[in-house]
Structure formats: structure tokens, C-alpha cells
Amino acid sequence: MRVYVPLDAAAKALGADEVAAAIQAEAARRGVEITLVRNGSRGMVWLEPLVEVATDLGRMAFGPMTTADVAALFEDLKAHPKALGLTEELPWMLRQTRLTFARCGVIDPLSLDEYELHHGLKGLKRALSLSDADIVAEVRESGLRGRGGAGFPTGIKWETVRTAKADQKYIVCNADEGDSATFADRMLMEGDPFTLIEGMAIAGLAVGATKGYIYTRSEYPDAVSQMTRAIQIARAAGVLGPSVLGSGRAFDMEVRVGAGAYVCGEETSLLNSLEGKRGTVRAKPPLPALQGFLGKPTVVNNVISLASVPVILDRGAAFYKNFGMGRSQGTMALQLAGNVKFGGLFETAFGLTLGEIVDDIGGGTATGRPVKAVQVGGPLGAWFPRALFDTPFTYEDFATRGGLIGHAGLTVADDSVDMLKMARFALEFCAIESCGKCTPCRLGAVRGVETVDRIARGDAAAIPLLTDLCDTMKAGSLCALGGFTPYPVMSALTHFPDDFAVMREAAE
């Protein structure tokens, strides 16, 4: 009997460890021999802990499981009260296009053999047969853009590093996933760490880097543990080290853990922290691609960007770019959170409308109340009202409508949410998390909180002041923290003016 119980942090928070222990205890009590695999999550967080049992027909899903449900797993599976059917036939799974997350939840995350049986290392092996320029050309042709939020073309960044002259170059993976409502990086590192290792090794071959770092946060202890163990396994198997897969070409990597400051998700702050310095933003230029880690040419890419590379090298750029819409090509790992009925990770090609994502995939709100707005792109993303739910999920369409898709985190809010308070929260968040390097961010966020409080007390004259302040922060901040904070503030003010008038009317 082969049983799968996720070790994903979200599943563990919901009792996966207790369920796993109960399964082992029940098997021992009954004298049943089992193989318990701690896999990654399938992304259906509302069903966690999701237990799967291998059957002749495929893996059968049960969830959300409790320890009280365990005994019935050893009886008639079809009669189990938490039986959901075959995992791969669940509607959430059937509607996805899983390219980057194809193995997450499917394989034992630390089994290199299982990884290879599911197309693992094919991309790296093909990369070893190509020149560095050809690898970069393949990535550029695929249309892959940075999945961390900026959306910069990955191939162009790699080409800049590849052609830079230096005695040492680096690959730095930005795994400092600090946006609220986002968890794709963590999920992949916990559920399929070899994909990230393979992607970083390909990036190293492409640009001539021999050393890589994964920079993540202390709040991700499971991801740190999984990645560290996976790197050791990959190194022992010759996937990493002085001769990658016996090619004679070197690449190795390690995990570095930061304290969890939000601003260290910004690439130059991250590099400072990685060098042991205070996590403050650097002025650009010079770009990290030319003077990055320790002053050397450095590729800084997000986890999902790098984890998307193996499938591109394996299946080819043409295969990957066939998914998506316009200049937003490939797939995106949507992360549904907040007040949503079906929260979790859903990988799909770019192009679904926001309404399809929230209403059809997410099922609306968990409270059952009408959806009022959705914040797309983390705490610095714009709030989109229902009137804009026809917006296709692409970089270009969201930019046209005053937003950004960021890391594809979506926070759903029902009609009870006060948008003035949400605007205040955004400014307060910026004030707390600012590194203090530039004035528009450091002082603007504090003055912004004060200005919103004036509006809340009924001072209508403060509204144009808030608008002017946001314009200054947007244009004058050194990085996205100060520059993007106006998005949630101004979108709340623009789309929900009544929420900014209630207190004024009460004062009158």
C-alpha cells in the first residue's frame, strides 16, 4: 500500500504531520505494510491535508483529512467519507496546464530517480549539448519573462550577463517570497526542488557562471530543509559539482537564509543582504547583470522563472511560447488567497480573464458574500473592482488598466471590506518595510498614513494631497516598494470613492 501525505508547509499547518503519524500507527496496528511518501502539495489548499492512495486505477484522493478519518483508509476506499475520486480527474487538476509544477505533488521530492522518470534532467542534458549562446537564444525565443513581478525578458537578462567580461559570474535565485497571498516559490521548493536546481544549472551553463545561491527567508524552514537536502543529493549524483553530469563544466550552489525583510525581495537589497550587508536598495545603474553579487555579473531571477527553464530546454521554445496571449507567453502559477472559496495554486496559460479566475476557478468568496474587489500582485498591487473583471490576465492588459500582475498573487475581498482601510494598510506596510534609503518612500509612506487618517476624519482637502503624494512616490522612489505602493492606494480611491466619503459625511 503506497500512501502520499504532503509535507508542504500549508498542509502541515492544517495537520498533515498528525495525519501521517496516524496512518503509520494504524498500519502497524493492523499489520499492514505501507510506503508513506511525503510529497508536495497539489495546490488545493482547501482540501489539505490531502491524502492520496495508489490504486490500480491511479491515485485516489481523500481530504481534508483528520486523524479520525485515517482508520477508514484501510477499509473500502470508495466508501470513505472523504473520498474525492482520482486526483488527476478532479476539476481543479483537469483545468490546469502544469508545466513548471508538473511534478509537484506527484513525485517524492527528494528522489532523483523519480525526478528523472518524470522528464527530469532532460532540459539540462540538452543544454549541455548546446553552446551558451544557443541556450540563451532558446530562452529568449520562448518569451519567458521574470515571474517575480517585473516581467523583464529572461533571455535578455541572461544575454547581458553572458557577454559581460569577468573572471567570475553568479546565478542568484530570488526565493525571498514576501508578498502576501503568494506561496508558489515555497510550494515548488518544498515539492519539487530538483526543478529549481536544474534551472539554475542551465542558467549557469548559459552565462558562464559556476556558482549559484538561493536566497530565501527564515520563515520558510521546510523549504530551506528540502532545498539543502536536494542540493546534497544532486551533488552526490554528479548533477552539481566540478563536472555537471560528467561534462567537465562546473556549477554548484547553496542556500542562504535571510531574516525576512520585505525589501530584500528587491534584487539589489537581496544582493546586499547576501553579501552580509544591511538590506538596502542600491541605485541603478550599474545593473546587477553587470555589477551584482560581489561586484560581478549576476543573473538574479525568481524561483518560478528559473524553474520554468527546464521544460523550455526539454520541449523547446516553440512548445512553450504556444501557451499564453500576446507578449505574455507560457504559463503562470496563479495563487488564490484571501476571502476565496477555493484557495490554492493553479497553473495555467496567460489569458484567462480576472472574472474567470475569481468566480470560476476560485468559486467566489468563502463567506458567500459578493466579491467587492481583488488585489492582484501582492500588497503593492492594484485593487480591481468587478467592472474590470473582463481584464485578461497578461502583463500588458493589467498595465493598461492601472495594475500589475506581479508574482500572480490574488487576494479576494468581499463587500464588507473598507477600501479606505486597505489604502491605509498599504501605506503603513510601506512605512514599516521601507529600507529608508530614499526620501519618497521613507517619508512619503508615513505622511501617506497621516493623510489617509485626515480623510477618514472628514478632511476632503486631504484627497488631492494624497494623490500628489502618490505621484511623488511613484516617480521618485528608488525601487518598487515606494514606487508601487501608490497602486493599491490610488486604485482604492479611484474605484471605491464612496469608502473615502463615509467618514466625511458622518463628520458633516
pLDDT (tens digit per residue) in 451-461: 999 999 999 99
Question: For residues 342 and 101, what is the distance between their CA atoms, to the nearest angstrom?
Answer: 18
DSSP string covering 128-197, please?
HTS-HHHHHHHHHHHT-B-TTTT--BHHHHHHHHHHS--S--EEEEEE---STT--HHHHHHHH-HHHHH
Asked whether the predicted pLDDT for residue 507 surpasses 60, the reply is no
Closest by CA to 216, choosing from 183, 173, 152, is 173
Asked whether the predicted pLDDT for residue 504 surpasses 70, the reply is no
Q: Check residue 148 and give its pLDDT.
A: 87
Backbone angles phi, psi at 423, to 5 degrees: -65, -40
Asked whether the predicted pLDDT for residue 320 surpasses 70, the reply is yes
Question: For residues 508 and 458, what is the distance between their CA atoms, to the nearest angstrom?
Answer: 8
In the chain, % of residues over pLDDT 70: 99
Q: 503: pLDDT confidence band, cut at 50, 70 and 90?
A: low
Q: 502: pLDDT confidence band, cut at 50, 70 and 90?
A: low
Q: 505: pLDDT confidence band, cut at 50, 70 and 90?
A: low
Asked whether the predicted pLDDT for residue 408 surpasses 80, the reply is yes
CB 163 within 8 A of CB 193: no
pLDDT (tens digit per residue) in 1-58: 999 999 999 999 999 999 999 999 999 999 999 999 999 999 999 999 999 999 999 9
Q: Which amino acid is at 443?
A: L
Asked whether the predicted pLDDT for residue 142 surpasses 80, the reply is yes
Asked whether the predicted pLDDT for residue 506 surpasses 70, the reply is no
pLDDT (tens digit per residue) in 215-254: 999 999 999 999 999 999 999 999 999 999 999 999 999 9
In the chain, % of residues over pLDDT 90: 97
**What's the number of CA atoms in the CB half-sphere (13 Å) around residue 424?**
15
Q: Check residue 501 and give its pLDDT.
A: 83
Residue 221: cis peptide before it, omega within 30 degrees of 0: no
Kind plus residue range of the DSSP H or E element containing 61? strand 58-62
The CA-to-CA distance between both ends of the chain, in Å, stands at 70
Q: What is the pTM of this model?
A: 0.96
Average pLDDT over residues 66-74: 98
Average pLDDT over residues 164-185: 96
SS3 string of 68-90?
A: HHCHHHHCCHHHCCCEEEEHHHC
Q: Check residue 150 and give its pLDDT.
A: 78
Q: Check residue 450 and give its pLDDT.
A: 97
Q: Check residue 363 and give its pLDDT.
A: 98
* Average pLDDT, rounded, for the chain: 96
Asked whether the predicted pLDDT for residue 212 surpasses 90, the reply is yes
